[in-house]
Amino acid sequence: METKFIGERISDARKKSGLTQANLAEHLFISPQAVGKWERGESVPDIIMLNKLAKILEVDLNYFAENVQTAEVLPTIESKGNSTSILPVKTKPAWNMSMGNWVDADFSGLKNLGEKFSSSNIQRCRFIGSEMAGILFKNNNIQQSDFSGSDFSGSQFQNSNLVKNNFSNAQLNQCNLQASMFSDCDFSGTDLSGVSAKSSGFEKCLFSGSRLIGLSFTHTYFGEIIFEGDIQNCSFENCSFRKLTFQNTRLTNTFFKGNRLKRIKFVDCSADRLTYEFLKSGKADLSGITLIG
């Protein structure tokens, strides 16, 4: 792939989307200087970043490849015996569902909905069993909606308020949460592995049977939360707690840092030596913890 060609394609799509280099950089969590280097052909994004660019700029991934047709209609070759014919195939339209007032809507079972839901009011909607991987939720008010069994893998929640939503048995692995508040939400049986949360909050949420592996919480608030089961390779850094309880929990290779660990309650828990020492250093109450090994 030619770096100059890709840079020009990024620049053209960015301008058509009405984004500045700084806007695009914010969506990608990188510096504006990095975007500038791409557009000048001084460097090239990797395939993971190209996928993110395609979603943000609402283009097909082939848009960044030379000698590939990227028109509205792409040809498909159909074989019939010894002959072939070319059939037109319509590409999926780019839907930007931002700035909407979505109330009592039923989007259950939708597939490949890799679009945007930003600056929207989403209330009492149904997204049961929908494919929503890679979606950007930004500046939203989301209340009393059912996302059970849906796939949010790699999605982003930014500056959003989420109240009384059902995420049970959903896939939220590798999601990025920034400045978002989750209140009275149900995450029972949900895969939360690899979730990264910063400056966010969870209050009165359910986590029964959730997959809690590789989570990272930074400057995040927890209020009236009970964690159960196995917690592995997680980190709680400079978080604040109010009635946070670990109950019947096995904690391994989990990092705790901060001066508010006394507010955490442990009931019938066990921890490996590393986790135990992190908690001890933070002056946590270790009376409810048994040391593993």
In this predicted structure, the answer to whether residue 74 has a pLDDT above a threshold of 50 is: no
Q: Do both 114 and 210 map to the same domain? A: yes
Q: How far is it between the farthest Cα atoms of the chain?
A: 78
Of 94, 124, 156, the residue that ends a domain is: 94
Residues facing 202 on adjacent strands: 182, 222
Number of structural domains in the chain = 2
Q: Do both 80 and 151 map to the same domain? A: no
Residue scoring higher pLDDT (242 or 91): 242
**pLDDT at res. 137:** 87
**pLDDT at res. 47:** 64
What tens digit of pLDDT does each residue of 116-160 get?
677 888 899 999 999 888 888 888 999 999 999 999 999 999 999
Q: Do both 12 and 115 map to the same domain? A: no
**pLDDT at res. 175:** 96
SS3 56: helix
Of 50, 70, 94, the residue that ends a domain is: 94
Q: Do both 115 and 171 map to the same domain? A: yes
61 with 50: CB under 8 angstroms? yes
What tens digit of pLDDT does each residue of 43-54 get?
888 766 777 888
What's the gap between Cα 201 and its chain centre?
A: 15
Residues facing 182 on adjacent strands: 162, 202
| Least confident interval from 56-65, 84-93, 173-182 | 84-93
CATH no. for residue 131?
Answer: 2.160.20
Query: Looking at the chain, how many residues does it have?
Result: 293
- Token reading at 186: 């149900």
Mean pLDDT, rounded, for 200-215 = 96
Phi and psi at residue 9, in whole multiples of 5°? -65, -40
**pLDDT at res. 286:** 96
Domain that holds residue 12: 1-94
The residue with tokens 């969870």 is: 202
Per-chain mean pLDDT for the chain: 86
200 CB-near residues (< 8 Å, 6+ apart) = 157, 177, 178, 179, 180, 181, 182, 220, 221
CATH no. for residue 45?
Answer: 1.10.260.40
Q: Do both 242 and 107 map to the same domain? A: yes
- Token reading at 248: 């019947």
257 with 237: CB under 8 angstroms? yes
Q: Do both 73 and 161 map to the same domain? A: no
The radius of gyration computed from the CA coordinates of the chain, to the nearest angstrom, equals 23
106 CB-near residues (< 8 Å, 6+ apart) = 125, 126
**pLDDT at res. 290:** 97
Q: Do both 139 and 268 map to the same domain? A: yes
Q: pLDDT category, 208, cuts 50, 70, 90?
A: very high
Q: Do both 56 and 148 map to the same domain? A: no
| Least confident interval from 74-83, 178-187, 219-228, 252-261 | 74-83
| Least confident interval from 38-42, 44-48, 226-230, 257-261 | 44-48
247 with 226: CB under 8 angstroms? yes
Q: How far apart are CA 219 and CA 180, in angstroms?
A: 12
Q: Do both 44 and 188 map to the same domain? A: no
Supply the DSSP symbol for 93.
P
Query: How many separate helices (H) and strands (E) can be counted in the chain?
Result: 5, 22
**pLDDT at res. 218:** 96
Judging by beta carbons within 10 Å of its beta carbon (0-12, 13-18, 19+), is residue 223 exposed, middle or buried?
middle
Looking at the chain, the whole-number percentage of residues with pLDDT higher than 70 is 85
Q: Do both 185 and 285 map to the same domain? A: yes
Judging by beta carbons within 10 Å of its beta carbon (0-12, 13-18, 19+), is residue 184 exposed, middle or buried?
middle
- Token reading at 162: 């989420």
Q: Do both 47 and 7 map to the same domain? A: yes
Q: Do both 135 and 208 map to the same domain? A: yes
Percent helix, strand, coil in the chain, to 5, is: 20, 35, 45
End-to-end CA distance of the chain: 53
120 with 103: CB under 8 angstroms? no
| Least confident interval from 53-57, 77-81, 180-184 | 77-81
Of 62, 94, 126, the residue that ends a domain is: 94
Mean pLDDT, rounded, for 155-169 = 95
